[in-house]
Structure 1
Amino acid sequence: METKQTDIKLKTPIRCIVKLGGAAITCKNEFEKINEANLITVSSQLREAMMFGSSSGSVLEMDWSKRPGMAESLVKVDDYKEQLVLDFSSFVVIHGAGSFGHFQASTSGVHRGGLNQPLVKAGFVATRISVTSLNLEIVRALAREGIPSVAMSPFSCGWSTRERNIASADVSAVVEALDSGFVPVLHGDAVLDEALGCTILSGDVIISHLAAHLKPQFVVFLTDVFGVYDRPPAEPNAVLLREIAVREDGSWSVVNPTLEDSDKQVEISVASHDTTGGMVTKISEAAMIAKHGIDVYIVKAATEHSLTALSGKLRDKIPDDWLGTVIRHVS
């Protein structure tokens, strides 16, 4: 892996990297359909978490595009002239694809490589059209909350892999955006692969890479379930794993609740069209992040528990009534 950016210097230390799970912000079993209610709530919670002090007061939207049912953009320029620049703490947002991109990628086999095949090349283009269209809608949702969000696609930023492992991932553009007061919004993407020709770079791998280089105070995974369970959460008697400890070698075990076999592998189900590994990849990458001494919170999106996690209130003490999974490094 290229590591030209090992000595990254940010003007302001980054507070949090957030992963918006595809299943939380889209209707994963309905082709290219956004979960509008969840996205609106998540965007509002992100604004509240990012702002110093109270989140009350008027929101000055930054999405001036035409919307359905509107003849033109209703921008009141004078509202911005007397408005102080809001002081947002540094966040990076990364989102999954959900019902966008996965179907195109799995149908064409983009994740397996082979750009010399017409179907794969067409699928590569189709996948990127789909995921970037979702990225635009998320950027717009954040902008409507007054968050200065900017889209940053890994492919367009020159990220690439070799045998599905990151080979080149210059984060200088992300750093420049942060230092300029923007909130970068990245996403899982179809990228070039030095050995395979192409593959899918998942958002969970991206967040692990950025966390290692940007060193946020904490990382939050927003999902469609309350956290990590000892088996698929839809199964009877599924137990929420409240705390997972990660050791120096990257291995992990459940410390709360106490299980009969605390080192057993969690049983995970993955949708047939998911080309990124689902929760398996999420836990693995979360453990790698925790190895750097960065707390990771996995929590259900658009709930009071997600707002608690995003606000950084879990760093000192985990409330007994908080529902989610904490993944931490132990020496």
Structure 2
Amino acid sequence: MIILKIGGSIITNKDSIEPEVDYDNLNRISGEIAEAYNNESLDIADGLIIVHGAGSFGHPPAKKYKIGEPFTNEEYPLKRKGFSEIVLSMKKLNLCVCESLLKQGIPVVPIQTSAVVKAYDKRINDFDLKMIKTYLKEGYVPVLYGDVVIDDKLKMSILSGDQIIEYVASFLASDRVVLGTDVDGVYDKNPKIHEDAKLIEKVSSLDDITQLESTVNVDVTGGMIGKVKELLTLADNGVDSEIINANKPGIISKCLQGEKVKGTKITKKQ
């Protein structure tokens, strides 16, 4: 089974004030997924889960309503309003993603994350995986996404797509995890502002990325450092992962079909 995560910065215009889908990227990526999915010599059709990020549909309202931060009882009605706004906004993005994939012939099933997951202090503590297992068994492709969820300690919190893939891959015994981001992988510096940034091809410990927190922009889900921390936990559970550049045409298709592409591998420390 393969779990593919597509970053929100790829399929949306993340810096847009209003939610905006990047249909050029979304439709291209859907086509690449379909190319690999329909390759009869591979086993992808036997098990594929897609998880996508929030981008401009989730991050701006999450910041606006300060989801995940402490609040008073008087502030709770406003927080609930923000919660509902994010839930509806993310469902809209998920619908756009699923429609694009379905047009390519992929039998997708949207899974509303906030309806199947609860958290405690920003970490998953209850995730109903039964229907996901059933859909996989019947040949469907579940599509989950980063979302806002009920939190038994904080009332509500943001659940990143990266935490979702770490949890699902661990409990469903995934064979491969692929993250499509807007850079080639993990760098020693932010490659968007440092021309001399060097790609780190293999990460097995946080010691390998000690400079990341001060050099990479951090969003409400933790940015690149947040991704790597989740993937290192996954590696400790025996599942390796790859971070690749989904902005480059053809990379996702090649990676899903087992071809070597430029990127960073996250693996257990030997």
| TM-score for both structures, normalised by structure 2 | 0.91
2:196 is equivalent to residue 196 of structure 1: no
8 Å Cα contact 1:96/1:188 also seen in 2: yes
Distance 1:137 1:236, change over 3 A: same
Is 1:138 the counterpart of 2:97 in the alignment? yes
Preserved contact between residue 206 and residue 229 of structure 2 (Cα < 8 Å)? no
Tell me how far 1:253 sits from its aligned partner: 5.0
Structure 1 residue 163: Cα displacement? 0.9
Q: Give how far 1:151 is off.
A: 0.5
Rate the CA distance shift 1:131–1:268 in 2: closer, same or farther, 3 A.
farther
**Structure 1 residues 175-324: aligned runs within 5 Å:** 175-234=133-192, 235-244=194-203, 246=204, 251-254=205-208, 264-266=210-212, 267-270=214-217, 274-301=219-246, 302-314=248-260, 322-324=261-263
Which whole-Å CA distance do the structure 2 matches of 1:153 and 1:113 have between them? 25
Q: 3-state DSSP class of the match of 1:192?
A: strand
Answering whether residue 14 of structure 2 is matched by residue 34 of structure 1, we say no
* Structure ranking higher in helix proportion: 2
Q: Is the 8 A contact 2:189 2:211 kept in 1?
A: no
- Return 5+ residue gaps in structure 2 as ranges: none
User: Contact (CA 8 Å) 1:50, 1:89: kept in 2 or not?
Assistant: no
Q: Is the 8 A contact 1:115 1:121 kept in 2?
A: no
2:110 to 105, 128, 151: 151
1:64 aligns with none
Q: Percent identity?
A: 34
Amino acid at match of 2:220: T
Normalised by the size of structure 1, how large is the TM-score?
Answer: 0.75
Alpha-carbon RMSD: 2.1
Q: Which runs of 5+ in 1 are unaligned?
A: 1-14, 56-86, 255-262, 315-321
Residue 230 of structure 1 and its aligned partner are, at CA, apart by: 0.6
Give 1:306 shift.
2.6
Rounded Cα–Cα distance in structure 1 between residues aligned with 2:190 and 2:211: 12
Return the alpha-carbon distance in structure 1 between the equivalents of residues 254 and 202 of structure 2: 16
Give the superposition deviation at 1:221: 0.3
Partner in structure 2 of residue 325 of structure 1: 264
Q: How far did residue 295 of structure 1 move?
A: 2.1
Greater C-alpha Rg: 1
Query: Paired residue for 2:61?
Result: 104
Partner Cα separation in structure 2 for residue 200 and residue 25 of structure 1: 19
- Residues 226 and 324, structure 1, Cα contact 8 Å, conserved in 2: yes
Deviation at 1:115, TM superposition (A): 8.4
Q: Deviations over 1:156-180 (max 9, x none)?
A: 12x1111111111121111111111
- In the other structure, the counterpart of 1:21 is 7
The letter for the 2-side match of 1:203 is: G
C-alpha contact 1:111 1:200 (8 A) present in aligned 2: yes
1:169 and 1:241 map into 2 onto residues whose CA distance is: 33
